[in-house]
């Protein structure tokens, strides 16, 4: 029965001594909800609209979000507002003439010139949440400052969405995690973009893989800062980038104080198994070893 439970995608993870870590799925729509999951830690809503040349209507959006929420009665679903631009351009939103799209008007920044798009999306999420019984949280991608976070939270509250958070994908946000947490209900670290911006390395350039390695101690240090700030504020700080799917790294993240890990559903069983094999104190010791290593390679070896 224990083996069966460890192989499952559903239910929270737990260290050998019972410290719980939520294990969520990353999805791009209802089609990705394969198997039973504890919840969704990252619903990438922009993936629903990659091919569209016109903005999805309020009704289109309500239907798409309701399909997801209805499949997860009573479960948590963290919905990310449209992260358009750079590696995920949306024809109806993204500007094609930017010299550096990854550093341009993308993610939450698009709401500066198109507040209507964010407003419509938040209203659609709220309407869908009302129609289904999932526990819906919302978060914004590409938040750089506490002021941006505060503006986003106000828009969420105005739309009737009580729980609002920020993704930490920009080093400035990690450096000011405490100030960010004063504005939001939770943080979710997107390690894919946080690596990209910390190491000035385009995530789409394979030649830069070494710099983009999620075991890079500088990245771990930014994650540790967020986790400490979360602990001090008494608010959840999760990881929803690819780093969360690496079982050995999941142990380190847990040791750093991360409260939830969100990944492709198929990765959940291996992460669950890795956590179950360590006590919280062991996770903390391995986290310290990785954090104080000099290279990504050394960090990986130290955590073994």
Stretch that binds Mg ion, among 90-98, 185-193, 213-221, 257-265 (CB under 5 A): 185-193
Question: Are 41 and 78 within 8 A, CB to CB?
Answer: yes
Query: Degrees (nearest 5) of the Cα angle 14, 176, 283?
Result: 25
Stretch that binds Mg ion, among 49-57, 115-123, 169-177, 277-285 (CB under 5 A): 169-177
When the beta carbons of 44 and 76 are compared against ligand PEP, the nearer one is 44
When the beta carbons of 42 and 303 are compared against Mg ion, the nearer one is 42
When the beta carbons of 15 and 254 are compared against ligand PEP, the nearer one is 254
**Block residue for tokens 């910390």:** 198
Question: Are 72 and 39 within 8 A, CB to CB?
Answer: yes
Task: Give min distance, CB of 287 to Mg ion, in A.
Answer: 23
Applying CB under 5 A, which of residues 190, 214, 230, 257 lies at the interface with Mg ion?
190
User: Is residue 240 near ligand PEP by the rule CB under 6 A?
Assistant: yes
Applying CB under 6 A, which of residues 241, 245, 254, 255 lies at the interface with ligand PEP?
241
Task: Give min distance, CB of 3 to ligand PEP, in A.
Answer: 30
How far, in Å, CA of 295 to CA of 291, rounded? 10
How far, in Å, CA of 257 to CA of 86, rounded? 31
Contact letters (x/-) for ligand PEP, 71-100, by CB under 6 A?
Answer: ------------x-----------------
Q: Is 156 a catalytic residue?
A: no
Rounded to 5 degrees, φ, ψ at 294 are: -90, -25
Is 157 known as a binding-site position?
no
Is 98 known as a binding-site position?
no
Long-range contacts formed by 91-94: CB under 8 A, 24+ apart: 91/51, 91/52, 91/53, 92/49, 92/52, 92/53, 92/54, 92/55, 93/55, 93/117
Residue 240, classified by CB atoms within 10 Å of its CB into exposed (0-12), middle (13-18) or buried (19+), is: buried
Please, which of residues 141-200 interact with ligand PEP by CB under 6 A? 169, 190-193
Please, which of residues 245-304 interact with ligand PEP by CB under 6 A? none
Task: Give min distance, CB of 90 to ligand PEP, in A.
Answer: 13
How far, in Å, CA of 231 to CA of 210, rounded? 31
Length in residues, the chain: 304
Stretch that binds Mg ion, among 45-53, 163-171, 227-235, 264-272 (CB under 5 A): 163-171
Task: Give min distance, CB of 227 to Mg ion, in A.
Answer: 19
Residue 204, classified by CB atoms within 10 Å of its CB into exposed (0-12), middle (13-18) or buried (19+), is: exposed
Is 2 known as a binding-site position?
no
Binding-site sequence positions for Mg(2+): 169, 193
Q: Which residues bind ligand PEP (CB under 6 A)?
A: 42, 44, 83, 169, 190-193, 240-241
The residues carrying an active-site annotation are 240
């Amino acid at each position: 029965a224990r083996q069966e439970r460890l192989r499952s995608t559903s239910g929270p993870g737990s260290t050998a001594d019972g410290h719980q870590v939520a294990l969520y799925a990353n999805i791009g729509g209802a089609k990705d909800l394969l198997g039973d999951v504890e919840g969704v830690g990252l619903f990438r809503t922009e993936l629903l609209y990659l091919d569209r040349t016109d903005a999805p209507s309020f009704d289109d959006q309500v239907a798409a979000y309701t399909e997801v929420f209805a499949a997860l009665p009573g479960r948590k679903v963290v919905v990310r507002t449209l992260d358009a631009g750079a590696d995920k351009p949306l024809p109806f939103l993204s500007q094609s003439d930017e010299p550096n799209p990854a550093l341009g008007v993308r993610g939450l920044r698009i709401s500066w010139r198109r507040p209507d798009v964010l407003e419509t999306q938040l209203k659609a999420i709220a309407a869908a949440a009302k129609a289904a019984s999932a526990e819906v949280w919302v978060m914004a991608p590409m938040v750089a400052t506490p002021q941006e976070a505060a503006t986003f939270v106000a828009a969420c509250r105005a739309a009737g969405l009580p729980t609002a958070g920020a993704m930490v994908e920009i080093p400035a946000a990690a450096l000011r995690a405490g100030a960010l947490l004063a504005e939001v209900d939770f943080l979710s670290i997107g390690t894919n973009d946080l690596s990209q911006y910390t190491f000035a390395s385009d995530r789409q350039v394979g030649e830069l893989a070494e710099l983009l390695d999620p075991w890079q101690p500088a990245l771990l240090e930014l994650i540790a800062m967020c986790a400490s700030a979360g602990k001090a504020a008494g608010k959840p700080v999760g990881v929803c980038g690819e780093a969360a799917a690496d079982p050995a790294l999941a142990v380190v993240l847990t040791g750093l104080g991360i409260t939830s890990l969100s990944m492709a559903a198929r990765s959940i069983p291996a992460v669950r198994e890795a956590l179950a094999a360590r006590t919280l104190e062991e996770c903390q010791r391995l986290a310290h070893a990785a954090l104080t290593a000099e290279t990504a390679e050394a960090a990986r070896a130290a955590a073994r």
